[in-house]
Amino acid sequence: MINAEIITIGDELLIGQVVDTNSAWMAEKLNEYGIGLYQITSVHDDRAHIIAALDEAFGRADIVLTTGGLGPTKDDITKNVLCEYFGTHLIEDARVRAHIAELYKDRPDILNKLTSTQWMVPECAKILENRVGSAPLMVFHKGKQMLASMPGVPYEMKIAMEEQILPYLESQIKDNKSKIIHKTLQVTGIAESTLAILLEDYERSMPQGLHLAYLPKDGIIRLRLSSYGELSETEIQHWFDELKRITVEYMIADTDEPLEVLIGHILTERGKTIATAESCTGGKLAALLNKHSGSSVFYKGSVVAYSNEVKENVLKVHRESLERYGAVSEQVVTQMACGAKKILNTDYAIATSGVAGPTGGTLEKPVGTVWIAWATPDNVYSECFHLGKLREQITDRACTKALVQILRILRNEK
Amino acid sequence: MINAEIITIGDELLIGQVVDTNSAWMAEKLNEYGIGLYQITSVHDDRAHIIAALDEAFGRADIVLTTGGLGPTKDDITKNVLCEYFGTHLIEDARVRAHIAELYKDRPDILNKLTSTQWMVPECAKILENRVGSAPLMVFHKGKQMLASMPGVPYEMKIAMEEQILPYLESQIKDNKSKIIHKTLQVTGIAESTLAILLEDYERSMPQGLHLAYLPKDGIIRLRLSSYGELSETEIQHWFDELKRITVEYMIADTDEPLEVLIGHILTERGKTIATAESCTGGKLAALLNKHSGSSVFYKGSVVAYSNEVKENVLKVHRESLERYGAVSEQVVTQMACGAKKILNTDYAIATSGVAGPTGGTLEKPVGTVWIAWATPDNVYSECFHLGKLREQITDRACTKALVQILRILRNEK
């Protein structure tokens, strides 16, 4: 199998100012191209540190990908360090120059002396076009090994990888026949250790080259089977089917697709719509449900109702219920769901109301108490959960609970 | 300066199934304790790979922190590899055993034979309590160097670091006097290269040991001054004040706090409230505004109004305006803001309506066109933006534009 490594370059990653979301995205894409990712290394904007990381990565991998350090400002040194590393120097590239002139034709302020350093490129590098930015994409060959350098800004990196770097790498590694396959199913309602005991015989009989991983998060465990070229697709499918058979009682999905996508598929297919009314999750459910393109077909909107006033005036929750049972109660959350369904005129609605903390907990309703209601065309269901102690954990888990249940309801209705 | 490295262990990180959000959080905490972070390395759940990474990290750093690989299932091997690395073996720990029994006293299904492996700990390790999970926290001493191993689940890792690992490390490195200082200000409305030219003289005259970094994202550039123990706080403050003076025209904040926090401070202080009406940002603004504890004081809620029906029925946008000007128009977005302010009964409201793509663009209103309106107690403002081509980029930038402008409005009103 062809192996790659990623080196992410930037002080901001090592002082905690920026989360590296790039590497996970790049890893997935590399796997799709049959390229394994062996290691990710984050280093400072520092000459010696970058060179040491390059040496180590080239000692292990066929392909090295670097992100970051390509801006026009002084703190960005990647291009010069790569020149030194590959024993080359900078020359002007007329194509890059023309591209930058075109890119900023309405922004003369940007066409300054610093931006002009961007069309200076290493003489020995293959230059690929960065359609959306000024930093040129660079590929260096080192014997049979390659290095591709791209910007760290996620939008630019993604376009660079998809349109330029991955196709170029593929064209250079023609004999790569290994196929990396991951198959994931999602289960809920079972502890990780209990699940592992259930799968003991299965794991014992698994063939060489097949790997099983457990990924618990927010009440869902993703079970992933991976093969790095050793097994055929038929064999992997056989083992995956067996895994599904054993876990069927707990399984909510036999793909790695997010719950909101699975829900979206069903609703779209049936021409049905959904709305949300959120108190403690405060927009998180809405942001999930409309995250993916095409969501406007099934997702009509949300009322984020933090205050009782909004619950009453917009969602038409009875004042009496609020006063008598409190906002975090079966009565209120049920009315919120029905109110959202009605005013947003949808077939389904989900409502959440809970104590996300850190303040606001009582003896009777401690932090972590969350009521969720699901309104369907003919019915309304509700349930109370205790979802932990930390604000973020509670709201994340509440979203998962809300989505798991509506997915079950939709499936039962088919 | 004391230096640390992080090794994150888990195949899921290297196939793109999980984004490593832990390292950034850990980096920030380490810096607060005066500990620098030299490198982050992500490795597979593989014995040889983990050992190689440990050797390399111990060749550079005083402290090595590892996350992940501590679950009770077969794919998690970190504890056994650490035993091998430090030449020790597993023994039963009565305190951990009692803790796990207490933790799962209502969940007898979890107290199974796999969970029982969790109270086996390396003999030579210092064991710290994992208050919220079953995997014990382990610290190993290697001469003057240390290694701390903790779970990869973010909630567990955070509690482990804050309550146990950082205080323990601090108690062991008593002579650490270096102070790491980062000071960040945020500017907008100027290109990165233009800003760098504006700061040329400043950068040239900066003393040794002071570092300036540029971090552009979604239309904001964060300018960060960093010192790793070489300069006094007074000196750094002097240079930071000078930076503020030069960039005053573009500066929107002289801290690294997110815009929604700054807005929250002002509103809370003045006893004012805000609401949102979101079309293209679809809940992202709501999720931002209620992300932080204390937000319920100033943030009343949101109407996520994807469909025209909701805009009309809930936000009271005139049907005529929708038909005549379309949903993405000054008329509609203005009415959305006023409608939200009215029905949610707040002092301020922000509304967004745009074409987030990938479909839905026209010649007149291409993908990326976003109208934003801001309603204040006495007025309503609106502006049209063109925010790029990618769905995520467009909605992220729209949120930034919406928040920058309301922050300016609030400041002008003081």
pLDDT in tens, chain B (414 residues): 899 999 999 999 999 999 999 999 999 999 989 899 999 999 999 999 999 999 999 999 999 999 999 999 989 999 999 999 999 999 999 999 999 999 888 888 888 889 999 999 999 999 999 988 899 999 999 999 999 999 999 989 999 999 999 999 999 987 777 788 999 999 999 999 999 999 999 999 999 999 999 988 888 999 999 998 889 999 999 999 999 999 999 999 999 999 999 999 999 999 999 999 999 998 899 989 988 878 889 999 899 988 888 899 899 999 999 999 999 999 999 999 999 999 999 999 999 999 988 888 899 999 999 999 999 999 999 999 999 888 888 999 999 999 999 999 999 987
- pLDDT > 90? residue A360: no
Q: Which of A214, A256, A301 minimises the CB distance to B305?
A: A301
Kindly state the tokens that stand for A370. Answer: 């969350």
- Provide the shortest C-alpha distance from residue B40 to chain A (in Å): 5
Mutate to test the interface with A, among B3, B18, B42, B341 (most CBs of A within 10 A): B42
Residue B151 touches chain A, beta carbons under 8 Å: no
| Confidence grade of residue A175 (pLDDT, cut at 50, 70, 90) | confident
Give the rounded percent of residues in chain A with a pLDDT score beyond 70.
Answer: 100
* Contact residues, chain A, for B20 at CB < 8 Å: 19-20, 23-24, 40
CB contact under 8 A, A211 and B75: yes
**Under a CB-based contact definition with an 8 Å cutoff, are residues B20 and B42 in contact?**
yes
Residue A39 touches chain B, beta carbons under 8 Å: yes
- The phi, psi pair for A131, rounded to 5°, reads -60, -30
In the predicted model, what is the mean pLDDT of chain A? 94
Give which of B7, B14, B13 is closest to B148, Cα–Cα. Answer: B7
Rounded to an integer, the average pLDDT of A206-233 is 91
Q: Which of B29, B153, B284 minimises the CB distance to A287?
A: B284
Q: Which of A27, A214, A301 minimises the CB distance to B307?
A: A301
CB contact under 8 A, B392 and A155: yes
> Which residues are bridge partners to A92 per DSSP?
A120
Residue B178 touches chain A, beta carbons under 8 Å: no
* Contact residues, chain A, for B11 at CB < 8 Å: 211, 213, 226
Residue A217 touches chain B, beta carbons under 8 Å: yes
B-facing residues of A in 77-106 (CB < 8 A) are: none
- The phi, psi pair for B240, rounded to 5°, reads -70, -40
* Contact residues, chain B, for A358 at CB < 8 Å: 293
- pLDDT > 90? residue A282: no
Closest-CA residue in chain B for A276? B304
Rounded to an integer, the average pLDDT of A195-216 is 93
pLDDT tens by residue, A385-410? 999 888 888 999 999 999 999 999 99
B-facing residues of A in 230-269 (CB < 8 A) are: 256
Task: Enumerate the H helices of B272-386 as residue ranges.
Answer: 284-289, 308-313, 319-325, 330-343
Q: Which of B11, B71, B192 minimises the CB distance to A71?
A: B192
* Contact residues, chain A, for B287 at CB < 8 Å: 282-284, 286-287
| Confidence grade of residue A144 (pLDDT, cut at 50, 70, 90) | very high
CB contact under 8 A, A293 and B392: no
The confidence score (pLDDT) of residue B277 equals 96
Give which of A371, A406, A404, A405 is closest to A386, Cα–Cα. Answer: A371
Residue A3 touches chain B, beta carbons under 8 Å: no
Q: Where does residue A298 rank: exposed (0-12), middle (13-18), buried (19+ CB within 10 A)?
A: buried
pLDDT tens by residue, A54-94? 999 999 999 999 999 999 998 899 999 999 999 999 999 99
- Provide the shortest C-alpha distance from residue B125 to chain A (in Å): 24
- Provide the shortest C-alpha distance from residue B37 to chain A (in Å): 6
| Confidence grade of residue A106 (pLDDT, cut at 50, 70, 90) | confident
Closest-CA residue in chain B for A133? B388
DSSP structural state of residue B162: I
Please state, in angstroms and rounded to a whole number, the distance separating the CA atoms of residues B370 and B397.
Answer: 10
Give which of B187, B191, B218 is closest to A153, Cα–Cα. Answer: B218
> Which residues are bridge partners to A369 per DSSP?
A386
Task: Enumerate the H helices of A326-376 as residue ranges.
Answer: 330-343
Strands A137-142 and A145-150: antiparallel
| Report field, pTM of the whole predicted structure over 0.90 | no
CB contact under 8 A, B15 and A25: no
The confidence score (pLDDT) of residue B111 equals 87
Q: Where does residue B51 rank: exposed (0-12), middle (13-18), buried (19+ CB within 10 A)?
A: middle
Q: Which of A26, A115, A283 minimises the CB distance to B287?
A: A283
- Provide the shortest C-alpha distance from residue A313 to chain B (in Å): 7
Mutate to test the interface with B, among A303, A311, A397, A400 (most CBs of B within 10 A): A303
Q: In what order do the strands lie in the sheet with A220-228?
A: A210-217, A220-228, A180-188, A251-253
Cβ-Cβ contacts under 8 Å for B397 (sequence gap 6 or more) = B218, B219, B370, B385, B387, B388
Residue A47 touches chain B, beta carbons under 8 Å: no
Residue A226 touches chain B, beta carbons under 8 Å: yes
The confidence score (pLDDT) of residue B391 equals 85
Kindly state the tokens that stand for B145. Answer: 């160097």
Residue A349 Ramachandran class (φ > 0 left, ψ -120 to 50 alpha, else beta): beta
The confidence score (pLDDT) of residue A216 equals 87
Closest-CA residue in chain B for A29? B16
Residue B379 touches chain A, beta carbons under 8 Å: no
Rounded to an integer, the average pLDDT of A141-157 is 95
Residue A184 touches chain B, beta carbons under 8 Å: yes
Of residues A157 and A111, the one with the higher pLDDT is A157
Q: In what order do the strands lie in the sheet with B211-217?
A: B211-217, B220-228, B180-188, B251-253
Kindly state the tokens that stand for A311. Answer: 């619950």
Q: How many CB pairs under 8 A join A and B?
A: 325
